[in-house]
Amino acid sequence: MSSRPLANSELGWLAYDPAPESASLARLAPSYGLFINGTFTDPGAHEQVPTLNPATEATLATVAHAVDEDVDRAVRAARHAYDTVWSVTSGAERAKYLFRIARLIQERSRELAVVETLDNGKPIRESRDVDIPLAAAHFFYYAGWADKLDHAGYGANPRPLGVAGQIIPWNFPLLMAAWKLAPALAAGNTCVLKPAETTPLSALILAEILQQAELPPGVVNIVTGDGATGAALVEHPGVDKIAFTGSTEVGRAIQARLAGRGTHLTLELGGKGANIVFDDAPIDEMIEGIIDGIFFNQGHVCCAGSRLLVQETVADEVLRRLERRVEQLRVGDPLDKNTDVGAINSRAQLTRIEELVAAGESEGATRYSSSCALPEQGYWFAPTVFTDVSQTHRIAREEIFGPVLSVLTFRTPEEAVSKANNTTYGLACGVWSEKGSRTLWVAERLRAGVIWANTYNRFDPTSPFGGVRESGFGREGGRQGLAAYLDV
C-alpha cells in the first residue's frame, strides 16, 4: 500500500479529547445468583465465576455457574409457567408485558449500555446507539404480533411449542437475548436463556427488568454458566425447542445431540461474508460501508463483511482510501464516546485472531495494521487489512471473528459471484454498485441469507435474518421469526 497517512496521535489539535461515559452508571452487584421462577437464587448457593472487563482485565462481578440440577429447576419452572399461566394468557395480555419490557429497556438504556460495554468491550457509541435501542425495538415489534398470530400466515390459531431453551453468544449479549426472547414470548412459549460465559451481566439486568415488568414467575428463566450449562439445556428432555446462536462447531454438535428426538431446532452460526464492490459504486459511502462491515463491534459479528471483493479497476484507489480510513479509526477505551474500535472480548478470542493473522502472513498474504497505540492492559488487536489474499488462504476461508479484513479482487460480475459463493458459509453479503440491475443480477446468484445493497450491517426487527449452508437455518426477526416458535 502507498505512503503512510497521519495517525490519530499525529493529528495535533485535530485529535479528540477523551469523552468518557461514567462506569458508575452500571450499579452492578458484587455477585449474582440464577434467575429462576421470577427470583434470583442466593449467589452463595453456587460456585461463582468472575466476568471480566476485557478492556482492563478487572473483575466486574461474579456470577453463578449453573449445573445440571439448576438447569433442571429452570426448565421445570418454565414448564409450570407454560402450563398454568402463559399458554392460557391471551395474546393481547402477553403483548402488554412485552411493551412493558421494551419501555423499561428504554428507561434503563444508559445503564444497560454501560453494562454491555464494560462486560463485552464494545464501544459505548455502539451499545448506546445500536445494541440497546435495537433490543428494545425487538420487544416493541414482537409485542405488536402477540395478538395477531392468526394473521401471521401460519393458519388459524397457531400453537406455541412449549418450553424454549435459548443459548446465545457474547458478541451482542442483550440484543441476542432480545432476538430470542421477544418472538418466543409473543408466540406464547416460556424460556430458559443461557448467556455466554464472558458476557452474562446485561441478561441479569434484563432479569431485573422482567421483575419490574411483573412478568409471571417462570415465564423467563436465566441460567448463567459455560458450555456445560448450555449442553445441559440441550440434553434436558423437558425442552421443546432449542434456539442457538454461536459457532458452527457447537451448532453441529447440538444438531447431532437432538437428532431423532423431535426437539425443534434453529441454528444461527458463523459466516464469512463477502462485501462486493463494483467500480461504479459511490466511493465515499462504499469505504464507510467496508469499514462498518468489518470493524463494527471489533469484527465480532457473524455476518461481518470479512472478505472484501473489489473490482480490479478500482482496487488501488479503494485500498489507498481504506488504509487512510483505517489509520483514523480510534482504538481504545470502550467507554470513551469517541472510540470506534474497542477491546477484543476475551483472551481466547484474541488468541484465535492472532493465530489466523499469523497464518495469513505465513501463507503469503500482505498485512497492513493500523499504527494506533494499543493499551497495555486488556485484550486488543489493531484494525488489520490483508491484500494479496488467495481463495485457499485460511484468512479467506475461516471465520476470524475479529477486526481483520481479507481483500480479493475480481474482473467480472460472474467472477465476483463465484468467489463470493466459494465458502462453506452463507450468512450475509453486500453489493455496492450504482446500477440496480447489476445489484439484482448479483444478489440473485449469491448463496446467503441476507444481502445488503449499498449498505452493510443494517438490522431491523421487521427484517428476517439467518443463514444457509453452514451458517445455519431458521430466521430471526420479522413475521418469519415467529415460525421458529410456533408449531407450523
CB neighbours of 471 closer than 8 A, spacing ≥ 6? Answer: 248, 268, 269, 270, 271, 302, 425, 426, 427, 448, 449
Residue 179 near which of ligand NAP, Mg ion, none (CB within 5-8 Å, type-dependent) = none
β 384-387/366-369 pair status: antiparallel
Q: Is 245 in the site for ligand NAP (CB under 6 A)?
A: yes
Supply 485's cell numbers.
Answer: 416458535
From candidates 119, 197, 340, 476, binder to ligand NAP by CB under 6 A: 197
Nearest CA to 161 among 199, 136, 192, 133?
Answer: 192
Supply 222's cell numbers.
Answer: 436465566
Tell me if 318 sits within 8 A of 286, measured CB to CB. Answer: yes
φ, ψ of residue 310 to 5 degrees: the values are -115, 135
For residue 85, what is the enclosing H or E element? none
Q: Is 198 in the site for Mg ion (CB under 5 A)?
A: yes
Residue 226 near which of Mg ion, ligand NAP, none (CB within 5-8 Å, type-dependent) = ligand NAP
- Sole residue written with cell 477523551: 18
Which amino acid is it at 71?
V
The number of angstroms, rounded, from the C-alpha of 203 to the middle of its chain's C-alpha atoms is 14
Q: For 386, left (φ over 0), alpha (ψ -120 to 50), or beta?
A: beta
From candidates 226, 279, 280, 288, binder to ligand NAP by CB under 6 A: 226
Please give the Cα distance from 306 to 5 (Å, whole number).
23
From candidates 51, 221, 298, 384, binder to Mg ion by CB under 5 A: 51
Residue 270 near which of Mg ion, ligand NAP, none (CB within 5-8 Å, type-dependent) = ligand NAP
Residue 119 near which of Mg ion, ligand NAP, none (CB within 5-8 Å, type-dependent) = Mg ion
- Sheet with 39-40, strands from edge to edge, namely 39-40, 35-36, 220-222, 190-194, 163-167, 241-245, 264-268, 472-473
Q: Which of 21, 116, 197, 302 is catalytic?
A: 302
Q: Is 105 in the site for ligand NAP (CB under 6 A)?
A: no
Paired with 45 in beta bridges are none
Residue with smaller CB distance to ligand NAP, 169 or 360: 169
Supply 130's cell numbers.
Answer: 445500536
Residue with smaller CB distance to ligand NAP, 197 or 323: 197
Nearest CA to 298 among 385, 368, 381?
Answer: 381
Q: Is 401 in the site for ligand NAP (CB under 6 A)?
A: yes
Residue 194 near which of Mg ion, ligand NAP, none (CB within 5-8 Å, type-dependent) = ligand NAP
Tell me if 308 sits within 8 A of 406, measured CB to CB. Answer: yes
What Rg do the C-alpha atoms of the chain give, in angstroms? 22
The number of angstroms, rounded, from the C-alpha of 240 to the middle of its chain's C-alpha atoms is 24
Pattern 33-72, ligand NAP, x by CB under 6 A: ----------------------------------------
Told to judge if 268 belongs to the known catalytic residues of this protein, a careful annotator would answer yes
Please give the Cα distance from 381 to 344 (Å, whole number).
7
Applying the rule CB under 6 A, the residues between 167 and 196 that interact with ligand NAP are 167-171, 194, 196
Which amino acid is it at 319?
L
Q: Is 465 in the site for ligand NAP (CB under 6 A)?
A: no
Among the residue ranges 64-72, 247-255, 431-439, 449-457, the one whose residues contact ligand NAP (CB under 6 A): 247-255
Among the residue ranges 142-150, 228-236, 278-286, 412-420, the one whose residues contact ligand NAP (CB under 6 A): 228-236
φ, ψ of residue 169 to 5 degrees: the values are -95, -175
Residue with smaller CB distance to ligand NAP, 28 or 356: 356
Residue with smaller CB distance to ligand NAP, 210 or 428: 428
Q: Which of 268, 323, 327, 398 is catalytic?
A: 268
Residue with smaller CB distance to ligand NAP, 113 or 344: 344
Pattern 321-360, ligand NAP, x by CB under 6 A: ----------------------------x--x--------
Q: Could you tell me the maximum CA-CA distance found in the chain, to the nearest angstrom?
A: 69
Please give the Cα distance from 222 to 266 (Å, whole number).
19
* Least Å from the CB of residue 431 to ligand NAP: 22
The total of other beta-carbon atoms located within 10 Å of residue 44's CB is 9
Among the residue ranges 50-58, 222-230, 258-266, 447-455, the one whose residues contact Mg ion (CB under 5 A): 50-58
Among the residue ranges 115-123, 249-257, 281-289, 434-442, the one whose residues contact ligand NAP (CB under 6 A): 249-257
* Least Å from the CB of residue 47 to Mg ion: 17
* Least Å from the CB of residue 458 to ligand NAP: 16
Residues in contact with ligand NAP by CB under 6 A are 167-171, 194, 196-197, 226-227, 230-231, 234, 245-247, 250, 253-254, 268-270, 302, 349, 352, 399, 401
Binding site for Mg ion (CB under 5 A): 51-52, 119, 198
Catalytic residues, by residue number, are: 268, 302
